[in-house]
Chain A
Amino acid sequence: MKILLRAGESRWLAPAAVLGAVVLTLLLTAGPIRLAGANPVAAYQRYTINPLTTPGGIGDVLLAATPLLFTGLAVAVAFRVGYFNIGAEGQFLAGAIAATIPGLYLPGLPAVLALPLAAASGALGGLIWGFLPAFLKRRAHIDEVVTTLLLNPVALLLVQGLLNGPWRNSETGFPDSDRYGAGYTLPTLAEGSRVHWGFVIGLALVVVVFVVMSFTPLGLRLRAAGQSPGAARFSGIRVTTLQFRSALVSGALAGLGGAVQVLGVQHQLTASISNGYGYTGVVVATLGALTAGGVLLVSLLLGDIAVGAQNASIALQLPTQMGAIVSSTLLLAVVALLAARRYRVVLRRPFVRRRSTAERKDA
């Protein structure tokens, strides 16, 4: 099982497959767009180009891309070593909850203390939420896919429970938490923009992951362990340990993403804080070929589409869910066509090879 979208035997085939997938996605989504009474070409223009034509629009794209950077990186880091963490959603929520604790109970802290504390708390929250599946996987070989998935609804219920219970808004009585102390606001990057420093933190983490993966012994070991666990073990790499640690790092990254989202955007905990960012992280990581640079690019693309979808829902009466349809169709089209490309090659190759190795014994 190979999840990596690596360049194949011939260099043009993979880009061609991706291009084909984009075209296929456009064709497939044109139907529902028409059904909704909109012009597909106008819709695609809104989804992709329009948000980038104004500074405000670009700001919105960066803002929308920010949580995806974190969850995308989280998923990529885990998938890279063959640990299928599909619980970034729950870890993101756990991070948001954990960041809320100091925000509500230590409201007076100055920003220099408050922000690092809340961020660290969020990362720790995500790590804790990711710990149980990682531990069960390592100790009892329990499939991490199921346990990470199951903890997602639990995290959402925990958020809702807290908001309906102890953290119910003391002024309005709505199921939102109170606003955090003043020190807990991640500053925006520029006056009048909503883009906050969380995006910069995400960028920095992209760079860190890139550097670790590309320039350290650890990075090479992680790649070896994910691509070929047997051979990695043969070369003395401790695959299970690496998977366990990556699982924790993955949880911490997603948790930090949740913290950044509450500190930078909402300034309070709300039930709709995640908006499926954790699941979208799987899309981001996969389309980004599990690389840091790829995660950055795909986050921006999906951020663009998300902003465009908001935009189109107002201008074209096209429900915002169209954005999710486009991104999930794109995911399936890309993996399908990349597999199809491999398939065509693989179809002949192993046949000949299997036969000849089996018979070479005798030849």
Chain B
Amino acid sequence: MDFPLLAVLAATLTIATPLVWAALGALINERAGILNLGIEGTMYAGAFVGFLTAVTTGNPYLGLGTAVVAGLAAGALMGLLTVTLGVNQHVAGIGTTLLLVAACDFTNRLLFATGTQQAAASFERWFPGLGVLAQYPMTFVAFLVLAPVLWWVLRSTGFGLRLHAVGENPEAADAAGIPVARTRYAALMLGSALMAVGGSFLTLSLLGSFTLDIVSGRGWICIALVIFGRWKVWPVVAGALLFGFTDALQLQLAITPMFSGVPNELLIAFPYLVVIAALAVWGRKVRYPGAYLTPYRRA
């Protein structure tokens, strides 16, 4: 059997792209001490809003822009709930996800009641003839711009240090004159914008259309990847690639005659199980950010 390695690698990069965006967004949130379970809904909103704009305007870049705005708004909502009000982060996140998904489905139903699949103007692959390099623009941005820049920002800028400090020891951050609440809001909004971009990749690049349940748990995968990557940029990217690879592999297996008897869905479930297994193996004894899940009030 000749294994189409290059095709699988190309698919790996494509599949990993939305995860890199969203997981790095979640990483920023969690570095600041906030578990954002709104991620699934935020990705969904990014996918839908981006798609909607692209359909209306015929311009995928505008779609990307509105997805970012949707992400910022979702982040601000999480900020209001968890930073200002100190609501339990699990409940706030699940509530945000439920609300965003319902709102998108509602609007979708309202606008496209007839059920005809709308095709949106979408991004074209760059370098179409170049095998593995035939990727969407957002893939290049994710790996060549976002990840290195974020790595640098977290490491070498005052903003990165502040994020680290408010997520680890807000009392010490406060003592050093860092505005804890404002920094956490910034983290939530920036991170959520990245999640929304990740979601919009599904509609604006990958599919060119919107379907219900399009995110299908990718947000939860990202939350797991952040733990798996221990809140560090490159390990999280590596985790996304691992997921992308297993997913690409199952796609390949699905069209391989030898596996034609195996239901497709069981193959699709495989990467999820790989992530859980990876968590079970490498997720023990992880050190969570010191102020994880904890609202901060100045004494």
* A contacts, CB < 8 Å to B: 1-3, 32, 35-36, 84, 86, 132, 136, 140-143, 145-147, 149-154, 157-158, 160-162, 164-165, 276, 279-280, 282-283, 286, 319-322, 324-325, 327-329, 331-332, 335-336, 339-340, 342-343, 346-347, 350-351, 354-355
Contacts and interface: CB of A to CB of B under 8 A. Distances in A.
B86 interface: yes
Contacts of A149: 37, 217, 220, 223
Contacts of B280: 136, 140, 142
Given A36-B110, A332-B81, A343-B86, A157 B95 contact: no
A240 B86 CA distance: 26
A331 B95 contact: yes
10 nearest CB pairs, A to B: A153-B217, A161-B265, A324-B102, A165-B263, A161-B263, A140-B284, A319-B109, A321-B106, A328-B98, A328-B99
16 contacts: A32-B106, A36-B106, A86-B37, A136-B283, A146-B223, A147-B279, A153-B216, A153-B269, A157-B265, A157-B268, A279-B94, A283-B94, A321-B103, A335-B95, A336-B80, A347-B297
Given A161-B263, A336-B85, A140 B283 contact: yes
Given A36-B110, A157-B269, A325-B99, A150 B88 contact: no
Given A146-B279, A328-B102, A86 B266 contact: no
Contact of B98 (A140, A158, A161, A331): A331
Contacts of B101: 324
A147 B276 contact: yes
Contacts of A286: 91
Contacts, number: 165
Given A140-B284, A339-B87, A283 B95 contact: yes
Contacts of B265: 157-158, 160-161, 164
B103 A325 contact: yes
Given A280-B98, A342-B86, 17 more contacts: A1-B88, A84-B90, A132-B276, A136-B280, A143-B283, A143-B288, A147-B224, A150-B220, A151-B276, A153-B220, A161-B269, A164-B265, A165-B263, A322-B106, A324-B106, A325-B103, A340-B85
Contacts of A160: 263, 265
A150 B272 contact: yes
Prevailing SS type, chain A contact patch: helix
A321 B95 contact: no
Contacts of B216: 153
A162 B228 CA distance: 30
A336 B86 CA distance: 8
B227 interface: yes
Interface residues of B, number: 55
Given A145-B90, A339-B87, A154 B297 contact: no
B276 A1 contact: no
Contacts of A328: 95, 98-99, 102
A69 to B, nearest CB: 19
Interface in B84-117: 85-92, 94-99, 101-103, 105-106, 109-110, 113
B261 to A, nearest CB: 8
Contacts of B224: 146-147, 150
Contacts of A146: 220, 223-224, 227, 279
Nearest to B269: A157
Contacts of B81: 332, 335-336, 339
A159 to B, nearest CB: 8
B207 to A, nearest CB: 18
A352 to B, nearest CB: 10
Contacts of B279: 136, 142, 146-147
Nearest to B267: A161
Contacts of A161: 263-266, 269
B278 to A, nearest CB: 11
A154 B269 contact: yes
B240 to A, nearest CB: 15
A283 to B, nearest CB: 7
Contacts of A141: 284-285
Interface in B139-195: none
A3 B91 contact: yes
Nearest to A339: B85
Contacts of B221: 150
A300 B103 CA distance: 23
Interface string B261-299: 001111011001101100110011100100001100111
Nearest to A319: B109
A54 to B, nearest CB: 26
